[in-house]
Structure 1
Amino acid sequence: MSRSRPLPIDPLAEAKRQWLEHGWTDAADGMTAVISVMRAQQLLLARVDTSLKPFGLSFARYEVLRLLAFSRSGVLPLSSVVARLQVHATSVTSTAERLVRDGLITREPHPHDGRAAMLSLTAAGRDLAERATVALNEEVFAAPGMTPADAADLVAIVARLRRDAGDFTDPRPQPDPL
């Protein structure tokens, strides 16, 4: 991934200074937090995309493959994939169609619900998910750009934000205390 030269100032610090100067004192810290998280997401997603590019995968396609690979049988109802990935059904359906086209998953009717579909991982899909996971672990997840303590703090802070926003109710199982 090519990096541009660093800016001489932190644009978020400047934005906060401007917020304060314009009298938006009550919103300045929140604006800085929100924009900081959004920028961090861009930076991390760029690293993930770079790692997945040699495999012809977007992160959305990888997530579906990995989720199916984690399941006991490599098969899940489409509705379970939607719920676990927390994305709109249309997005998962579109992603699944591309994975089916590429022979990485199959889509079959649900055995008990004629309106539902089952997604099933193929051998090629499992192999690709495993190889892509090795790359992500080596190139991104093993060294995310922060210390383990900072990573744990960040996960805990974001988990509280997600829980309070209604993302989940029961934090178990949890890797670290919330």
Structure 2
Amino acid sequence: MEPNWLSPGEDRAWRAFVHAHQKLVAHLNRGLQESGLSGADYEILAVLSGHDGDRMPAHVLCNMLDWEKSRVSHQVRRMQKDGLISREPNPDDARSTMVRLLPAGRTAIEQAAPGHVADVRRNFIDLLTPAELDMLAALNERILRHLAEANESLSDDDPA
């Protein structure tokens, strides 16, 4: 069967979306590096700092970030060495680990966040009208719903 190739307009939209995303993430990550954090550091610190009690089971963190378990484990170990977070036994489940935001991690996110938000605003939010932002959000939410449904149907087909 012949592939259903993208039309020139479809190809333009797809490539612009992918390229803009890659460039924006790279730019934002460079900005974060000025504050001493990587993009991955910032993501973990943002999740933990926004969570009640500044700690959560590692598997919940993994799900919230939508990262592979090995990626979270590696990143948490690195951040623990940097004194930003700690790992401790989960009192509710001896098989899992809790990840806790340490004071140095709280300070790091509080210092990095204003510049990061300004960078997001300057290089994304301020380039679009409120109506365009609403449309962009709706379109991306549609894609996310579709992917979630596709993943659910794959899980339902899994005989394990």
- Give me the TM-score of the superposition, normalised by structure 1: 0.74
Aligned partner of 2:148 in structure 1 is: 166
For the aligned residues, what is the CA RMSD?
2.2
Q: 1:128: which partner in 2?
A: 108
**2:82 is the alignment partner of 1:82:** no
- Greater shift in the superposed pair: 143-152 or 94-103: 143-152
Cα shift at 1:143:
4.8
Partner of 2:46: 66
Question: Relative to total residues, which structure has the larger helix share, 1 or 2?
Answer: 2
Structure 1 residues 92, 167: CA separation in 2 closer, same or farther (over 3 Å shift)?
farther
Match of 1:149 in 2: 131
Is contact 1:77-1:118 (8 Å) kept?
yes
Any stretches of 5+ residues in structure 2 without a counterpart?
151-160
Letter of the 1:151 partner, please give it: L
Cα displacement string for residues 89-132 of structure 1 (whole angstroms, at most 9, x for unaligned residues): 11111111111000000000111222210000011101111111
Larger RCO, structure (CA 8 Å, separation 6 or more) = 2
Task: Give 3-state SS (helix, strand or coil) of 1:112's partner.
Answer: coil
Query: CA 1:143–1:38 in structure 2 vs 1: closer, same or farther (change >3 Å)?
Result: closer
* C-alpha distance in structure 1 between counterparts of 2:71 and 2:121, whole Å: 25
**Match in the other structure for 1:37:** 17
Change (3 A) 1:77 1:127: same
Between the aligned residues of both structures, percent identity stands at: 29
2:6 to 14, 24, 27: 27
Report the equivalent of 1:3: none
Extract unaligned runs of 5+ from structure 1.
Answer: 1-22, 169-178
Whether the 8 Å CA contact 2:45–2:105 is kept in 1: the answer is yes
Asked if the contact 2:62–2:69 (Cα under 8 Å) also holds between the matched residues in 1, the reply is: yes
Summarize deviations over 1:135-172 as a string: whole Å, max 9, x none. 1111223551333322221111011011011179xxxx
